Amino acid sequence: MIRNNEELVEPNALDRVTWALRRAELAVQALKEQRLRPLGLAASHYTLLMSVHSDPGLTGAELARRLNVTPQAVASLVARLESRGQLERREHPRHRHVQELHLTDAGREVLRAADKVIAGIELQITGGLGPQESAQLRGLLDRVAETVRED
Amino acid sequence: MIRNNEELVEPNALDRVTWALRRAELAVQALKEQRLRPLGLAASHYTLLMSVHSDPGLTGAELARRLNVTPQAVASLVARLESRGQLERREHPRHRHVQELHLTDAGREVLRAADKVIAGIELQITGGLGPQESAQLRGLLDRVAETVRED
DNA sequence: TCACGACCATCAAGTGTTTGACAGTGCTCC
DNA sequence: GGAGCACTGTCAAACACTTGATGGTCGTGA
């Protein structure tokens, strides 16, 4: 009896680490999106605001590199957040053509609320895993990212 | 001296498990996309072909549910793969309006090549981690997905 | 028998993102 | 000082996906 699944491709193709990784990330991202919606924020908005908060004065291009998206995508998000008064574009002190990104007070406010939501999800996960295994998971994930990045 | 980063949001907002998860998934996905490109396949194409291979005769709607996308997205992918002769739409034996999805020989061939690529990435990761930690990581990721899904 | 409901597939419109191309600005080396 | 270069920001077109809505097909129960 020939089992086709085990002939054509690797036998354990369905329970690979990369699949588990994808499923987990997809589920977490979906939950983030769902809980952030009442705040009028998409997960990408939160990520952008958090990045700017972490490194004020960031440029759009640099931000694009960190978030693994194109500068246009960043520009689109920035335009939306700016129109809401949550983000501010200032002229770079040296390069006149470059513009720094800064949070406004409203931006800080919505980020604070959003981060409480995200922290809640984080707590839900780490609570289910326990502190030791959480740290372990974080370490393993970092090593995976490091391993894959070298190429 | 007041450190703004530690006032506004959680202090360790940057090294959360969810961030590490996102970074790792992003890196892996980017690598998949990069190495699949020479085959003319996107990662989503590979995922779809693999799903159909795993469960032949799948319908578009069922596939959409499994991949967490809308039926339209599936239809778009299916149309492309069908135009390349890698996928086949057959009439459902009972429901005449429903169509089953099956791989063609060309589809099996390209899937075999693609899976070798993916298996290589998997090996690269598990090789860097070792068998024990790989299994550990997979278990932890599954638990995360499970924890998050319940809501 | 036949109306009702569930499900599948598809069309149309809107949104978000990428790809490709282009102009503006500051730095560096000749 | 000026040419070349690297980098930033933006525009236009193409692409992928979602939301909303429509028509087709089967099974169920009055």
> Is A140 a member of any domain?
no
Lowest mean pLDDT among A15-19, B61-65, B104-108: A15-19
Percentage of chain A beyond pLDDT 70 is: 90
> Is B5 a member of any domain?
no
Whether the pLDDT of residue A127 is over 80: the answer is yes
Segment A47-57 shows an average pLDDT of 95
Contacts of B141 in chain A (CB under 8 A): 17, 20-21, 23-24, 137
How many other C-beta atoms can be found within 10 angstroms of the C-beta atom of residue B48?
A: 27
Interchain contact, B118 vs A14, CB within 8 Å: no
Q: What is the three-class DSSP state of A20?
A: helix
Nearest to B138 among A17, A112, A133 (CB): A17
Whether the pLDDT of residue A51 is over 50: the answer is yes
| B103 confidence band (pLDDT: 50, 70, 90) | very high
Using one digit for the tens of pLDDT, what is the confidence trace for A57-93? 999 999 999 999 999 999 999 999 999 999 999 999 8
**Helix, strand, coil percent content, chain B, rounded in steps of 5:** 70, 10, 20
Between positions 88 and 107 of A, the ones with CB within 8 A of B are: none
Domain membership of residue A84 as a residue range:
40-135
How many other C-beta atoms can be found within 10 angstroms of the C-beta atom of residue B65?
A: 12
- CATH number for position B66: 1.10.10.10
C-alpha dist (Å) from residue B110 to B38, B40, B107: 11, 9, 5
Q: How far is CA A67 from the centre of its chain?
A: 7
Interchain contact, A50 vs B9, CB within 8 Å: yes
Distance from CA of B119 to the nearest CA of A (A): 7
Whether the pLDDT of residue B2 is over 70: the answer is no
For residue B93, the model assigns a pLDDT of: 86
> Is A6 a member of any domain?
no
Using one digit for the tens of pLDDT, what is the confidence trace for A98-110? 999 999 999 999 9
Nearest to B21 among A25, A68, A124 (CB): A25
The number of distinct structural domains making up chain A is 1
For residue B149, the model assigns a pLDDT of: 83
Cβ A82 to strand D below 7 Å: no
Between these two residues, B150 and A51, which has the higher pLDDT value? Answer: A51
Kindly state the DSSP code that residue B32 receives in the 8-state scheme.
H
For residue A2, the model assigns a pLDDT of: 46
Contacts of B70 in chain A (CB under 8 A): none
Using one digit for the tens of pLDDT, what is the confidence trace for B119-141? 999 999 999 999 999 999 999 99
Q: How many angstroms separate the CA atoms of A148 and A120, rounded?
A: 29
> Is A116 a member of any domain?
yes
A14 phi and psi angles, rounded to 5 deg:
-90, -20
Q: Work out the mean pLDDT of chain B and round it to a whole number.
A: 91
DSSP chain A: ---THHHHS-TTGGG-HHHHHHHHHHHHHHHHHHHHGGGT--HHHHHHHHHHHHSTTEEHHHHHHHHTS-HHHHHHHHHHHHHTTSEEEEE-SS-SS-EEEEE-HHHHHHHHHHHHHHHHHHHHHHHHH-HHHHHHHHHHHHHHHHHHH--
> Is A103 a member of any domain?
yes
> Which one, of A27, A30, A16, A14, lies nearest residue A144 by Cα?
A16
Whether the pLDDT of residue A3 is over 90: the answer is no
Using one digit for the tens of pLDDT, what is the confidence trace for B15-59? 799 999 999 999 999 999 999 999 999 999 999 999 999 999 999
Percentage of chain B beyond pLDDT 70 is: 90
For residue A93, the model assigns a pLDDT of: 84
Q: What is the three-class DSSP state of A87?
A: strand
Would you call A103 exposed, middle or buried from its count of C-beta atoms within 10 A (0-12, 13-18, 19+)?
A: buried
Cβ neighbours for B120, distance < 8 A, ≥ 6 positions apart: B35
| B151 confidence band (pLDDT: 50, 70, 90) | low
For residue B6, the model assigns a pLDDT of: 47
> Is A74 a member of any domain?
yes
Whether the pLDDT of residue A5 is over 70: the answer is no
Which helix H or strand E contains A37, and what residues bound it? Answer: none
Q: How many angstroms separate the CA atoms of A9 and B108, rounded?
A: 9
> Is A105 a member of any domain?
yes
Segment B51-74 shows an average pLDDT of 95
> Is A34 a member of any domain?
no
User: CA nearest A105 in B: which residue?
Assistant: B8
Distance from CA of A3 to the nearest CA of B (A): 11
